[in-house]
């Protein structure tokens, strides 16, 4: 059967229960979230469940298109994993989408027993064999944000405005108001963390890139990234920056972070979940890319400025630096502070304070 005929067949399904399997990571979940609205439009009346790592579950709470979230405890051991597989089987899903494409999610997909199980061409570790169909043009050469949107195109709903639709409460908005109250605009959020050491352009460089800006600086990050946030603030003080600067690193849950990133004027970040969260909330981003590709991993849209290093191993996606001696992490030095600073100034000059 040809792609068009099969796509028409998939569009014509009338499922009662749909599962989306996308447990991690934060940035990938945020980029895939607009598909919840697409699925609700493509299959009105279907109850949509989302399998997500427990640490990210709160971000999906209250989403208008999701009937439930099903938590996955990645470090919970075999007993909890088998319990999850039994739960997925008991739900009797009609249609499943595996957007993760790893062995563990392939097993989840297979365990559902759904008659139609969709995956992406990025599927690896044998997970594609748990799928009945792979959505065309979703290989690794396609930028991540476009790869997810291929699903919308395949289902015939590419015109649906892509929105993560993160449900922010009045309490979370009030918390942000208290943090930002009295800070002069524009407010620039800085995130110096990242999951891989090869993605962490130095915290001191971020400080030097934003020092002396008109407005103020808010440093964000997880509890484990507090030392990086402290390093940003210390360097700002050392440099004599006159811009007010505060840190909320380690003091936000994911909904508070989303609300904060909605309220600032610009986010400056390594390639990380908070970068994608800011972009999803409509905030312009200056993204710093060392070992990853801005084309493949960056947010889409002309409002963003994505700055990449130029070493020979740039965009290698190496979690550990392959170079030794003086060349170790040379990608950091090869990305000058002046380029990031220029990107910041371009965005602030063309966009009024929010």
Q: In what order do the strands lie in the sheet with 47-53?
A: 68-72, 47-53, 17-21, 95-98, 116-120, 133-135
pLDDT, block means (10 residues), the chain with 354 residues: 86 98 97 98 97 98 98 94 98 98 98 98 97 97 97 96 96 97 96 97 97 94 97 94 92 97 98 98 97 97 96 94 92 96 95 63
In sequence order, what DSSP letters do the residues of 238-303 get, joined into one string?
Answer: HHT--S-EEE-TTS--HHHHHHHHHHSSEEEEESSHHHHHHHHTT--EEEEESSS-HHHHSPPSTT
CA distances from 22 to 28, 96, 235, 264, 351 (A): 8, 11, 38, 28, 34
Residue 4: predicted pLDDT: 85
Of 227, 231, 173, 187, which Cα lies nearest the Cα of 207? Answer: 231
DSSP of 29-83: HHHHTHHHHHHHHHSTT-EEEEEEEGGGHHHHTT-TT-SEEEEE-TTSHHHHHHH
CA distance 76 to 72: 8
Q: Which residue has the tokens 């065309």?
A: 136
pLDDT score, position 243 = 85
Tokens 């170790």 locate to: 328
> Is the CA virtual torsion 9, 12, 18, 23 positive or negative?
positive
**Can you give the pLDDT at residue 1?**
60
Q: Judging by beta carbons within 10 Å of its beta carbon (0-12, 13-18, 19+), is residue 313 exposed, middle or buried?
A: middle
Domains along the sequence of the chain with CATH? 3-155 (3.40.50.2000), 170-350 (3.40.50.2000)
């Amino acid at each position: 059967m040809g792609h068009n005929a099969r796509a028409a067949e998939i569009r014509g399904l009338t499922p009662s229960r749909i599962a989306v399997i996308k447990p991690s990571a934060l940035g990938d979940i945020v980029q895939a979230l607009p598909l919840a609205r697409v699925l609700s439009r493509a299959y009105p009346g279907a109850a949509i469940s989302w399998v997500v790592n427990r640490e990210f579950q709160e971000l999906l709470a209250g989403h208008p298109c999701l009937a439930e979230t099903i938590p996955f405890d990645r470090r919970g051991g075999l007993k909890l994993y088998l319990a999850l597989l039994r739960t997925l089987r008991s739900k009797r899903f009609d249609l499943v989408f595996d957007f993760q494409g790893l062995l563990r999610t392939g097993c989840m997909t297979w365990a559902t027993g759904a008659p139609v199980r969709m995956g992406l061409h990025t599927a690896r570790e044998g997970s594609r064999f748990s799928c009945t169909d792979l959505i065309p043009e979703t290989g690794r050469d396609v930028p991540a944000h476009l790869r997810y949107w291929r699903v919308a195109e395949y289902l015939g709903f590419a015109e649906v405005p892509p929105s993560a639709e993160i449900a922010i409460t009045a309490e979370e908005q009030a918390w942000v108001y208290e943090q930002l109250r009295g800070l002069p605009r524009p407010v620039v959020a800085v995130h110096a963390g990242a999951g891989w050491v090869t993605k962490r352009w130095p915290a001191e460089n971020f400080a030097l890139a934003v020092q002396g800006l008109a407005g103020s600086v808010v440093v964000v990050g997880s509890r484990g990234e507090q030392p990086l946030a402290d390093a940003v603030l210390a360097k700002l003080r050392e440099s004599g920056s006159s811009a007010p600067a505060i840190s909320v690193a380690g003091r936000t849950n994911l909904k508070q972070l989303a609300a904060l990133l909605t309220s600032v004027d610009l986010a400056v970040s390594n390639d990380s979940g908070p970068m994608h969260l800011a972009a999803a909330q409509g905030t312009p981003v200056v993204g710093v890319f060392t070992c990853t590709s801005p084309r493949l991993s960056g947010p889409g849209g002309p409002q963003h400025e994505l700055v990449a290093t130029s070493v020979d191993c740039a965009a290698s996606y190496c979690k550990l630096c392959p170079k030794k001696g003086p060349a170790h992490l040379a990608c950091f030095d090869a990305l000058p502070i002046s380029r990031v600073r220029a990107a910041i100034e371009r965005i602030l000059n063309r966009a009024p304070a929010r």
